[in-house]
Structure 1
Amino acid sequence: MATIFTQIIEGRMPARFVWKDDRCVVFLSNRPLRPGHALVVARQEIDHWIDLDPSLLCHLAETAQAIGRAQMAGFHPERIGVMLAGLEVPHCHFHVVPIRGLHDLDFGNQDPDPPAEMMDEAAQTIRRELRRLSYSQVSD
């Protein structure tokens, strides 16, 4: 059975995409820790990050860095946090989160029902900043 992330990648479930390339996609978390919380997801279904091909791991990290640069420019947080937790969905993904402190990385603080307007605005902010930074992988 396909993971929920594969279903999203294949268009069978909705998501707010901000990046697509041949190896990964980036969309906003539907239970964000902070506005702009993005997930960098490998297209290939691999459960644990230690099982990734090193070149794919590097690609995911480079993509997370690009997203982080866009988040920093668009949201002006103290830092950009990155996590590879791997417990929620058995499909390798990076959490890239604009943060003010470590407390912003606590999954107990997820917003279970974020306003659609806030989510749309966050996606537009990331896309705008990715374009400004000259990334061609922006997804509308």
Structure 2
Amino acid sequence: MASIFTKIINGEIPSYKIAEDNDNYAFLDINPNSKGHTLCIPKKEVDKLTDLDEESYMKLMSFSRKIAIAIEQAIPCKRVGMSIIGLEVPHVHVHLIPLQSMANATFQHKVELSKEEFESVAAKIRTCLN
């Protein structure tokens, strides 16, 4: 059965898309640690980061870096943190989290955004992509 992320890639489940290329897809986390919290995923469904072949791994990291730079430009923050945990969804995903403090990185403090706020944040990040 396809993961929730594969369903997002296939358009079966809506997302607040930031960007995509031939191999990867970036979208806002709908249960964010902070405003601008974005997930970057390979389009190929692979459970663990270490199961990615080296080329796919490098493409995901390069794609994630590009998205992180755009987030840093769009969202006021001290830095963008990266976390790769992968327990909650069996599909490799990189969390890019705008950080003001370590609390933003703990996954214990969440922010709530309206549909309009999600759309606005996604649009703002997209405008900062080079």
> Which of the five TM-score ranges fits, normalised by the shorter chain?
over 0.9
Q: TM-score, normalised by structure 2?
A: 0.95
| Percent identity of equivalent pairs | 32
Q: Does 1:55 align with 2:41?
A: no
The one-letter code sitting in structure 1 at the alignment partner of 2:126 is: R
Alpha-carbon offset, residue 100 of structure 1: 0.9
Mapped to 1, the partners of 2:42 and 2:108 lie a distance apart of 25
Deviation track 1:85-121 (CA, whole Å, cap 9, x = no partner) reads: 111100001001111122101112123x521121111
Q: What SS class does the counterpart of residue 12 from structure 2 fall into? A: coil
Mapped to 1, the partners of 2:51 and 2:27 lie a distance apart of 22
Alpha-carbon offset, residue 76 of structure 1: 2.5
User: What is the aligned partner in structure 1 of residue 100 from structure 2?
Assistant: 100
Q: Does 1:116 align with 2:120?
A: no
The one-letter code sitting in structure 1 at the alignment partner of 2:48 is: H
Q: How many residues align?
A: 130
Mapped to 2, the partners of 1:110 and 1:76 lie a distance apart of 17
Alpha-carbon offset, residue 34 of structure 1: 0.7
Gaps of 5+ in 2: none
User: What is the aligned partner in structure 2 of residue 6 from structure 1?
Assistant: 6
Q: TM-score, normalised by structure 1?
A: 0.89
Q: What SS class does the counterpart of residue 108 from structure 1 fall into? A: coil
Q: Which runs of 4+ in 1 moved over 2 A?
A: none
User: What is the aligned partner in structure 1 of residue 80 from structure 2?
Assistant: 80
Alpha-carbon offset, residue 124 of structure 1: 0.6
Mapped to 2, the partners of 1:97 and 1:64 lie a distance apart of 11
User: What is the aligned partner in structure 2 of residue 18 from structure 1?
Assistant: 18
Gaps of 5+ in 1: 134-140
Q: Does 1:129 align with 2:125?
A: no
